Structure 1
Amino acid sequence: MTVPAAAATPPRPRPPAARPARRRASLAGLGFVLPFAVLFAVFLVWPMLAGLWASFTDRSLARPDAAFVGLANWRELAGDAAVWRSLWTTLLFTLISTPPLVAVALAMAVLTQRVAARLGWFLRFSFFAPFLLPVAVVTLIWTWMYQPGFGVVNGALQAVGLPEVAWLTDEDTVLAAIAVTTVWWTAGFNYLLYLAALQGIPGHVYEAAAIDGAGAWQRLTRVTLPLLRRTTALVVLLQLVASLKLFDQAYLMTAGSGGPNYAARPIIGYVFESGFTGLRIGYASAVSYLFFAVVVAVSVLQFRLFSRKEAE
């Protein structure tokens, strides 16, 4: 004789008193989120929408009214050689500055970790201190260092028998000079990220590798670098976006001229010139949205690349 399965116990109805309490908790959560949501909408969402609308108008700082011009700004942008040259300058700066900013930061972090017991505090202060300096101070220091005749850089070249270089007035060297300045100035932030990640690696991992006969170089390449893969992905992503936003140091070190033959004028510098010097806010908005699309595309591409490597 088969015994019928027991009927499923019906769910108990929620007590009426629990519903108002849950509603009050939801309202309290919305109350905490509301200030941020308002600030986010006012200072980010609304300016983005207003800038997008401005890119379809002939808005100018010289007059209050603005007429809708459709895709006229975008068609002009497509045929403007200065836009594409400024964009290429930005991408070139990113290509020459990102690898050393990652490699130098990693090398400084590894060195600090190796001598943490003796000079760790001194190295942490020395490597991170430049990042705390304002951009005006950094550019002033390096502009004097690059000066011909009395600059430290050219003095070092002459000391080894090499000729002086017009670092900031030569079309072939001005962007590299700004990149070196940027590496010295901003590598400290990436250095902190790497140092924190290194301190999170258990010591027994290195002990096991040493017992297996791994030398210092093998421990670095077979243990440290693989364990820092996620940190490296974060550092590269942040650095790509930061390098693409080049403006301050290039503007100050070239006195706002963009360097000889505009060799160091980034895309943001061209947006600044179009909007605040040329007074064409509508056209500058269109150029800025082109740059925004480039930043998003580079970020997505880099994120997918590292995600694929993680999956492998």
Structure 2
Amino acid sequence: MKTVEPAHAAPPAQAQAASSARPAKPPRPSRGNRDRLHGLLMSAPAVGGLIAFVGIPFGYAVVLSFYNVRLGSPLEPAFFGVEHYRRLFTDPDLSGPFLRALLNNLTFAAVVVPLQTGLALALAILLNRKLKAIGLFRSFFFMPVVFPMALVAVIWRLILARGEQGMLNSALNVVSFGHWGAFDWLGDGLTAMGSIIVLSVWQGVGFQMVILLAGLQQIPGELYEASELDRASRWQQFRHVTLPGIRGTLVFVAMLTSVLSFRVFDQVYILIRGGGLDEDATRTVMYQAVTTAFDQNDIGRASAVTVVFFLIVVALTIVQRRLVRPDNED
């Protein structure tokens, strides 16, 4: 008996031709590729800003460092080669102030980084408690961060002013019954850098405190409960629970403080120009570059100073990064 196929059924050959003519769907990107694409799109604004405000100016500074460029000069910039760099390290009139400024920068960073990081950690531990009005205390310690550095420098100029006009000298005069109250804290070379360090730590410690406080609040409370069951002391809890729990945050804070400490300029410039601060004892590389560019009108030499300083800071940051790398990084 014959089987009759339906009239609407297509032959196998025609079905294959129709299926081959149908356009194939493009392959969907994998999850890893999508995440990578999303990451690139989200980081594009930050990368664009970094290139626009750091990469391009630095490249322009590198170009200017090879030319003799002076502000207000009617002469065209002349190619100078590496003469600015050679004079920066061989000419006593130029190398002396530059090396002194670099030494002041290193001294400032060597004191501020451990002091400010340690003080920020102590404040974060102190404020990481469930107390009444704890938010008020946190705001009080964070308040100096929102003050502009220019305002902070003016405030501390009033505190550290020479003679009885300064608030610190007035207090010392009362405490010592008039025997000690006329010291020049800003003008004396022995205390000028210390004054800059104190006001810088006072202004910036609140920012590091907030970062470390956020890290402390991420540590599970069960770890402290387990350590209490093991009869661990406060110091043992700090060493074996707190420090390992915030190691990555602590490394980040130390590196951020290091970068910011090398950028010290505002307070030095304001206090030297209007507060009687000792210039040789507190001159920094940024101050040297700005005064070379706008006081001496030598843009080429100032560009060479900034390029050398940038390379030194990058090298020190890389070394610090490798020495204090967190455990969760390869």
- TM-score, length basis structure 1: 0.85
Paired position in structure 2 for 1:142? 156
- Alignment pair present for 1:18 and 2:18: no
Cα distance, 1:62 vs structure 2: 2.3
Moved more, 161-170 or 105-114: 161-170
The correspondence for 1:52, drawn from 51, 62, 67, is: 62
- Measure how far apart 1:217 and its partner are: 2.2
Matched residue of 2:71: which SS?
A: coil
- In structure 2, the residue matched to 1:301 is 319
Q: 1:157 aligns with which of 152, 172, 177?
A: 172
After superposition, the Cα gap between the structure-2 partners of 1:16 and 1:157, relative to the gap in structure 1 and judged at 3 Å, is farther
Compared with structure 1, are the counterparts of its residues 60 and 17 closer, same or farther at alpha carbon in structure 2 (3 Å cutoff)?
A: farther
Offset from partner CA, 1:250-303 (integer Å, 9 cap, x none): 111222698325211110000001111111111100010111011101110110
Q: 1:111 aligns with which of 112, 126, 134?
A: 126
1:94 partnered with 2:109:
yes
State how far apart, in whole Å, the 1-side matches of 2:115 and 2:71 are. Answer: 40
Corresponding letter in the other structure for 2:114: P
Tell me how far 1:117 sits from its aligned partner. 2.4
Alignment of 1:240-255 (within 5 A): 240-255=258-273
- Residue number in structure 1 paired with 2:134: 120
Answer yes or no: is the 8 Å Cα contact 1:258–1:264 preserved in 2: no
Indicate the structure (1 or 2) with the bigger Cα radius of gyration. 2
* RMSD between superposed Cα atoms in Å: 2.9
Please point out which of 216, 232, 238 is paired with 1:198. Answer: 216
Q: CA shift at 1:154, angstroms?
A: 2.1
Q: Give the whole-Å Cα distance in 2 for the aligned partners of 1:263 and 1:16.
A: 74
1:163 to partner: Cα distance = 2.2
Offset, 1:18:
1.7
Contact 2:157 2:275 (8 Å CA) reproduced: no
Query: Residue 76 of structure 1: CA displacement?
Result: 0.6
1:209 is matched with which residue?
227
* Cα gap change, 1:258 to 1:279, in 2 (>3 Å): farther
Aligned counterparts of 2:39 and 2:256: Cα–Cα separation in 1: 31
Equivalent residue in structure 2 for 1:77, among 51, 76, 88: 88
Q: 1:111 Cα shift? A: 0.5
For 1:44 and 1:201, locate their aligned partners in 2 and report how far apart those are by CA, in whole Å.
36
**One-letter amino acid matched to 1:69:** F
Assess if the C-alpha contact under 8 Å between 2:185 and 2:191 holds in 1. yes
What do the CA deviations read for 1:208-236 (whole angstroms, capped 9, x no partner)? 11110112222122221222211111011
Cα distance between partner residues in 2 of 1:224 and 1:50: 46
- Counterpart of 1:118 in structure 2: which amino acid? K
TM-score, normalised to structure 2, is 0.81
Q: Which moved more, 1:277-286 or 1:302-311?
A: 302-311
* Alpha-carbon distance between aligned partners in 1 of 2:279 and 2:292, rounded to the nearest angstrom: 17
Relative to structure 1, is the Cα distance of residues 298 and 258 closer, same or farther in structure 2, using a 3 angstrom cutoff?
farther
Q: Contact 2:124–2:209 at 8 Å: present in 1 too? A: yes
Structure 1 distance, partners of 2:105, 2:38, is 46
Q: Which moved more, 1:129-138 or 1:299-308?
A: 299-308
Q: Is the 8 A contact 1:258 1:265 kept in 2?
A: no
Q: 1:19 to 1:34 in 2, by over 3 A?
A: farther
- Classify 1:208/1:90 alpha carbon distance in 2 versus 1 (closer, same or farther; 3 Å): same
CA distance in 2, matches of 1:261, 1:270: 10
**Aligned position for 1:281:** 299
Cα distance, 1:122 vs. partner?
Answer: 1.6
Structure 1 partner of 2:79: 68
Letter of the 1:247 partner, please give it: F
* SS of structure 1 residue aligned to 2:68: coil
CA contact (8 A) 1:250 1:258 kept: no
Show structure 1 runs of 5+ residues with no match: 1-14
**Contact 1:259 1:265 (8 Å CA) reproduced:** no
Please tell me whether the aligned partners of residues 187 and 276 of structure 2 are also in contact (alpha carbons under 8 angstroms): no
CA contact (8 A) 2:216 2:246 kept: yes
Q: 2:6 aligns to what? A: none
